[in-house]
A and B are shown apart, each in its own frame.
Chain A
Amino acid sequence: MRESGQREVFCGLTSIVWLHRRMPDAFFLVVGSRTCAHLVQSAAGVMIFAEPRFGTAILGERDLAGLADANEELDRLVRDLLERRPEIRTLFLVGSCPSEVIKLDLGKAAERLNGQLAGRVRVLNYSGSGIETTFTQGEDQALLAMQPLMPPSDEPQLLIVGTLADPVEDRLVDLFGRMGIERVRSLPPRRSTELPPVGRGTKVLLAQPFLSATARALQARGAELITAPYPFGVEGSRLWMQAAATACGLAPAAIEAVLAPLVERGRRAVAPHREVLAGKRLVLMPDSQLELSLARFLHQECGMELVEVGTPYLDRQLLAQELALLPAGTVITEGQDVERQLERVRAARPDLVVCGLGLANPLEAEGIATKWSIELVFSPIHGCDQAGDLAELFSRPLRRRNLLQFS
């Protein structure tokens, strides 16, 4: 089902919040308005930083009046910023709705600044604007911008694409190593300047389902895209690792030897949460683009009944394996008309709604339990070892409701 109307989702700028943590030597400079600055700070908890590694070049009336001035102003601001933050190695100029509408060419600006900075700092650009990108698509655009700088190499490697929490990444690299895969690299890397190579020997393993443009660009460089469900829950993670290991030519026995104990332990960790979640009715509102994978996990491994699975947009190719694992007849809505969707939620009275922060308390006040979806992009939830934690995120609101007594 396709729907259009008011979309209650973040724009791509929000992904700066996890991207900047992944690459501590990068700065993300949004070129936009006070609204952009306010959005990012509302989403990111900026106050905890002495000085964050992201900020907004706020356009003023003078910048709107003349683009020549705007370009000069941007150059000046970038020079000041880099002087102040000499540790920055990569600067991302991030386009926004206003910069797109006034057609401020950040690609040209990046080129110009790269010339001025003479290799001291690399300047890249991408768009995180709400008119072009939805929430997690911001990461797709950022990775796409890094792609041309990846050196060519045909050496065999497994390339995990998509931001993972550092400990989760270490764990996965270790597990793949134990299976026998020697070279496992990540995009984005931990250091923005240490970009992995790409070429014919590269097998791309997507850690996130929202990286369509990046996946296509890497394929165009000769890389092979591994198709699998995404590594959420025990089953998703098992199939994901299995697909990667198989693509790398490993023998089934070697794969199974590593996976079997992980799967067994993961299932044990999920079991107590399944007791809480089984038979409960679930609605996922469109948000982070993880909805289909989470629905698959919550249905298959936690026994939840899927009332409606919303997603901002549906990339049928990247999600083919997830779609195949969803039960027949699952209601999937692409796009959003938030008012009508809420009407359906009220009519269906599900036991749990996964939704954004703008909707959570209002639904709770109507007596419907919710899980904030934004936690899913900030928490380490990938892999068999995290499956129990992932299930816990959903069982907690239900356990809590049972816990509270006021009479």
Chain B
Amino acid sequence: MELTLWTYEGPPHVGAMRIATSMEGVHYVLHAPQGDTYADLLFTMIERRDRRPPVTYTTFQARDLGGDTAELVKRSINDAVERFQPEALLVGESCTAELIQDQPGALAAGMDLGGIPVVSLDLPAYSKKENWGAAETFYQLVRALLKPQLPPPGAAKPSPARWRQEGRRPRVNLLGPTLLGFRCRDDILEISRLLGEHGIDVTVVAPLGARPADLLRIPSADANVCLYPEVAGPVCNWLERSFGMPVVRSVPIGIGATGDFLREVTSLLEMDTKAIAAATNAEAEQRSRLPWYSRSVDSTYLTGKRVFIFGDATHAIAAARIASRELGFQVVGLGSYSREQARDVRAAAKELDLEALITDDYLVVERAMAEAAPELVLGTQMERHSAKRLGIPCAVISTPLHVQDVPARTSPQMGWEGANVIFDTWVHPLMMGLEEHLITMFRHDFEFTEGHRSHLGGAPAGAGLEAYGAAGAKEPTTGAATLAETTTGSATATAVASAATAVATAAPAAALAENGLHWSPDGEAELAKIPFFVRGKARRNAESFARAQGLDRIDAETLYEAKAHFSR
């Protein structure tokens, strides 16, 4: 038993719904009690879908439990097949149905459904979560549909260069994009275009937008691109084992990773890799503004900015690479809620001399964030809220999806254009470079008020951090807690504003710091002269310096000693 106040991932059957709803011609019969239909609104509200998810729920109630729930399952399957005439049927159960053991998959298998493929889903609701459920469903569906095409054991692997003999362009499948995934809609446009420019066609994009008939064409491609490992990992592995299809595993988020992706896909397909290797660097400069913007002088102020990163594994790992190598940030925290990909996240963290934070407890993430004292947070919508409470700017990089993460404009994360989007999204929450200089220059002028923080608003960073200890557990009592939160921005804004106020009005930190350190009056006075946006950092540095030196009192001299110590 585990206490959960909020969860990054839903149950595994919601993952199955993501696969069914992403596709056309697939229907999902879900044995589930009344109330589980709430999941429909994730699609109709967050994704603004114009159709209900293709899901029929049995919505059983207590009175049904006395009778024959198996009969209810069969009736629901029959009705759904008759009404929706799907090209493939998924049958499964949610957590409660798992306990009553009606085995809807076996029931469906025993029914005459006119020969449509039926896939029975076994998604353990008490041990697995949403992304696992999506990956398992996609794998089971593809496997069931491709069974008749399985090559005999021992058959020769198809050559990834057969396109040459066949006198056509090489072609790949893009696997893994789904509804409720982060910017999948726009990523597949960007990556399809990018591949097309390099002479590579896309055969099947799945599950998003695919029909069962499209899945049957998967083996006709020369390779699979595992675009979202959380969803497509198992199916790509199976296609590699069973059909000998090579897998492109570089995820093209960021300049370096997009280059890696192009090099990997072209070398797998035995294309002219030398020419492409030479071209990608020039192409990055031509097609993306990120490299130049990052070198341009205004970006100097980005140097060493402390960033804290948390999200799904794919986006968190990509963000760490972009932040550290392509923007010159210092990554001070890296973590993920994707336990299935924890190993990859740990490896990425190790490269940055960090210990990865693998957890699905947002309060643990918030505490780690506060301790890391970042200047920018890259996280999920939950980290956006946590960062707001701490007064730290934040950009959202990962699911779970919020209506704000489905923008009207095309806004990919992948490829060259994705890198442009990322530059803007991450840099805009920060104070602009020139503005930061001006504030430093003019801070003694009387017009300059303490707490000035550009047009971006929010509580001053230092105040938020200092107040954390006092107000971290406080909750606003005035925020409008309505369903509108998940679905509209305005309710969020007002509620969050009140949350920010609650934190900002908390008592300032006392002169007595943690671990018995004292600030002398002249030390406090000197600290107050430091611009507020670096004051928090100066305070922390001075305190850690004092502790290291075994001092229990921090005066102005200690502050200058610490400054000298840390500037080395």
Q: How far is the CA of A27 from the CA of B479 in the complex (A)?
A: 17
Is there an interface contact between A70 and B1, defined as CB atoms closer than 8 Å?
Answer: yes
Which of B38, B42, B83, B124 has most chain A Cβ within 10 Å?
B38
Give min CB distance, A58 to chain B, whole Å.
5
- Residues of A38-84 at the interface with B, using a CB-CB cut-off of 8 Å, are 38-39, 41-61, 63-64, 70, 73-74, 76-77, 80-81, 84
- Residues of B468-497 at the interface with A, using a CB-CB cut-off of 8 Å, are 471-477, 479-487, 491-492, 495-496
From known contacts A47-B381, A48-B496, A58-B4, infer whether A357 and B45 are also in contact, taking CB-CB under 8 Å: yes
Q: Which of B6, B9, B60, B125 is the one whose CB lies under 8 Å from A131? A: B60
Is there an interface contact between A46 and B34, defined as CB atoms closer than 8 Å?
Answer: no
Q: Is A196 an interface residue (CB 8 A)?
A: no
From known contacts A80-B3, A98-B99, infer whether A50 and B389 are also in contact, taking CB-CB under 8 Å: yes
Is there an interface contact between A365 and B36, defined as CB atoms closer than 8 Å?
Answer: no
**Which of B48-56, B230-238, B525-533 forms contacts with chain A?**
B48-56
Give min CB distance, A241 to chain B, whole Å.
27
- Residues of B48-87 at the interface with A, using a CB-CB cut-off of 8 Å, are 48-52, 56-62, 64-65, 76, 79, 83
Is there an interface contact between A101 and B492, defined as CB atoms closer than 8 Å?
Answer: no
Q: Is A358 an interface residue (CB 8 A)?
A: yes
Task: Write out the residue numbers on chain B whose beta carbons fall within 8 Å of the beta carbon of A361.
Answer: 44-45, 48-50
Q: How far is the CA of A358 from the CA of B38 in the complex (A)?
A: 7
Q: How far is the CA of A80 from the CA of B1 in the complex (A)?
A: 12
Give min CB distance, B395 to chain A, whole Å.
16
Is there an interface contact between B482 and A362, defined as CB atoms closer than 8 Å?
Answer: no
Task: Write out the residue numbers on chain A whose beta carbons fall within 8 Å of the beta carbon of B49.
Answer: 361-362
Q: Is B129 an interface residue (CB 8 A)?
A: yes
Q: Is B113 an interface residue (CB 8 A)?
A: no
**Which of A4-12, A220-228, A314-322, A385-393 forms contacts with chain B?**
A4-12
- Residues of B1-52 at the interface with A, using a CB-CB cut-off of 8 Å, are 1-7, 9-11, 13-14, 33-42, 44-45, 48-52
Give min CB distance, B152 to chain A, whole Å.
39
Is there an interface contact between A48 and B485, defined as CB atoms closer than 8 Å?
Answer: yes
Task: Write out the residue numbers on chain B whose beta carbons fall within 8 Å of the beta carbon of A239.
Answer: none
Q: Is A195 an interface residue (CB 8 A)?
A: no
Task: Write out the residue numbers on chain B whose beta carbons fall within 8 Å of the beta carbon of A45.
Answer: 481-486, 491-492, 495
Q: Is B385 an interface residue (CB 8 A)?
A: yes
Q: Is B95 an interface residue (CB 8 A)?
A: yes
Give min CB distance, A97 to chain B, whole Å.
4
Is there an interface contact between B491 and A34, defined as CB atoms closer than 8 Å?
Answer: no
Q: How far is the CA of A366 from the CA of B465 in the complex (A)?
A: 49
Is there an interface contact between B5 and A48, defined as CB atoms closer than 8 Å?
Answer: no
Q: Which of A13, A47, A357 is the one whose CB lies under 8 Å from B487? A: A357
From known contacts A47-B6, A50-B389, A374-B483, infer whether A97 and B33 are also in contact, taking CB-CB under 8 Å: yes
Is there an interface contact between A97 and B96, defined as CB atoms closer than 8 Å?
Answer: yes
Is there an interface contact between B4 and A39, defined as CB atoms closer than 8 Å?
Answer: no
Q: How far is the CA of A130 from the CA of B52 in the complex (A)?
A: 21
- Residues of B113-164 at the interface with A, using a CB-CB cut-off of 8 Å, are 124-127, 129
Q: How far is the CA of A356 from the CA of B44 in the complex (A)?
A: 10
Q: Which of A12, A34, A64, A378 is the one whose CB lies under 8 Å from B7? A: A34
- Residues of B262-315 at the interface with A, using a CB-CB cut-off of 8 Å, are none
Is there an interface contact between A48 and B476, defined as CB atoms closer than 8 Å?
Answer: yes
Q: Is A248 an interface residue (CB 8 A)?
A: no
Give min CB distance, B122 to chain A, whole Å.
14
Task: Write out the residue numbers on chain B whose beta carbons fall within 8 Å of the beta carbon of A33.
Answer: 11, 95-96, 125-126
Q: Which of B36, B44, B100 is the one whose CB lies under 8 Å from A101? A: B100
Is there an interface contact between A34 and B482, defined as CB atoms closer than 8 Å?
Answer: no
Is there an interface contact between B94 and A35, defined as CB atoms closer than 8 Å?
Answer: yes
Task: Write out the residue numbers on chain B whose beta carbons fall within 8 Å of the beta carbon of A42.
Answer: 38-39, 41-42, 483, 486
Task: Write out the residue numbers on chain A whose beta carbons fall within 8 Å of the beta carbon of B491.
Answer: 45
Which of A41, A49, A375 has most chain B Cβ within 10 Å?
A49
Q: Is B175 an interface residue (CB 8 A)?
A: no
Q: How far is the CA of A235 from the CA of B13 in the complex (A)?
A: 46
Q: Is B378 an interface residue (CB 8 A)?
A: no
Q: Is A91 an interface residue (CB 8 A)?
A: no
Q: How far is the CA of A24 from the CA of B191 in the complex (A)?
A: 50
Task: Write out the residue numbers on chain B whose beta carbons fall within 8 Å of the beta carbon of A35.
Answer: 10-11, 13-14, 36, 94-96, 125
Encoded as 1 (CB less than 8 Å from any B CB) or 0, chain A from 121 to 134 comes to 00000000111101
Which of A11, A76, A364 has most chain B Cβ within 10 Å?
A11
From known contacts A13-B35, A48-B385, infer whether A358 and B484 are also in contact, taking CB-CB under 8 Å: no
Task: Write out the residue numbers on chain B whose beta carbons fall within 8 Å of the beta carbon of A47.
Answer: 6, 381-382, 385, 485, 492
Q: Which of A48, A55, A357 is the one whose CB lies under 8 Å from B3? A: A55
Is there an interface contact between B475 and A53, defined as CB atoms closer than 8 Å?
Answer: yes
Is there an interface contact between B473 and A358, defined as CB atoms closer than 8 Å?
Answer: no
Q: Is B318 an interface residue (CB 8 A)?
A: no
From known contacts A34-B11, A60-B127, infer whether A7 and B45 are also in contact, taking CB-CB under 8 Å: no
Task: Write out the residue numbers on chain B whose beta carbons fall within 8 Å of the beta carbon of A85.
Answer: 473
Q: Is A37 an interface residue (CB 8 A)?
A: yes
Q: Is B499 an interface residue (CB 8 A)?
A: yes
Is there an interface contact between A8 and B37, defined as CB atoms closer than 8 Å?
Answer: yes
Q: In this complex, what residue of B is CB-closest to A78?
A: B3
Give min CB distance, B56 to chain A, whole Å.
6
Is there an interface contact between A358 and B44, defined as CB atoms closer than 8 Å?
Answer: yes
Q: Is B194 an interface residue (CB 8 A)?
A: no
Q: Which of A8, A51, A59, A356 is the one whose CB lies under 8 Å from B1? A: A59
Is there an interface contact between B95 and A34, defined as CB atoms closer than 8 Å?
Answer: yes
Task: Write out the residue numbers on chain A whose beta carbons fall within 8 Å of the beta carbon of B7.
Answer: 34, 37-38, 41
From known contacts A34-B11, A45-B491, A50-B472, infer whether A358 and B37 are also in contact, taking CB-CB under 8 Å: yes
Q: In this complex, what residue of A is CB-closest to B62?
A: A131
Task: Write out the residue numbers on chain A whose beta carbons fall within 8 Å of the beta carbon of B39.
Answer: 38, 42
Give min CB distance, A229 to chain B, whole Å.
26
Is there an interface contact between B34 and A39, defined as CB atoms closer than 8 Å?
Answer: no
Q: Which of B37, B471, B487, B503 is the one whose CB lies under 8 Å from A6? A: B37
Q: How far is the CA of A244 from the CA of B382 in the complex (A)?
A: 46
Is there an interface contact between A61 and B126, defined as CB atoms closer than 8 Å?
Answer: yes
Q: Which of B1, B382, B477, B496 is the one whose CB lies under 8 Å from A77? A: B1
Is there an interface contact between B96 and A7, defined as CB atoms closer than 8 Å?
Answer: no
Q: Is B195 an interface residue (CB 8 A)?
A: no
Q: Is A339 an interface residue (CB 8 A)?
A: yes
Q: How far is the CA of A360 from the CA of B51 in the complex (A)?
A: 10
Q: In this complex, what residue of A is CB-closest to B45?
A: A357
Task: Write out the residue numbers on chain B whose beta carbons fall within 8 Å of the beta carbon of A50.
Answer: 389, 471-476, 499, 502-503
Task: Write out the residue numbers on chain A whose beta carbons fall within 8 Å of the beta carbon of B495.
Answer: 45, 48
Q: How far is the CA of A35 from the CA of B30 in the complex (A)?
A: 13
Q: Is A21 an interface residue (CB 8 A)?
A: yes
Q: Which of A39, A53, A61 is the one whose CB lies under 8 Å from B127? A: A61
Q: How far is the CA of A102 from the CA of B503 in the complex (A)?
A: 42
Task: Write out the residue numbers on chain A whose beta carbons fall within 8 Å of the beta carbon of B9.
Answer: 34
Q: Is A359 an interface residue (CB 8 A)?
A: yes
Q: Is A345 an interface residue (CB 8 A)?
A: no
Task: Write out the residue numbers on chain A whose beta carbons fall within 8 Å of the beta carbon of B513.
Answer: none
Is there an interface contact between B129 and A34, defined as CB atoms closer than 8 Å?
Answer: yes
Top 5 closest pairs, chain A to chain B, by CB: A45-B485, A11-B35, A130-B35, A358-B40, A365-B50
Additional pairs, 14, CB under 8 Å, beyond known A57-B2, A357-B487: A6-B57, A9-B34, A11-B38, A21-B481, A34-B10, A38-B10, A39-B36, A47-B492, A50-B389, A70-B1, A85-B473, A357-B45, A358-B52, A378-B483
Contact surface of A with B, Cβ cutoff 8 Å: 5-14, 17, 21, 24, 29, 33-35, 37-39, 41-61, 63-64, 70, 73-74, 76-77, 80-81, 84-85, 97-98, 100-102, 129-132, 134, 339, 356-362, 364-365, 372, 374-375, 378
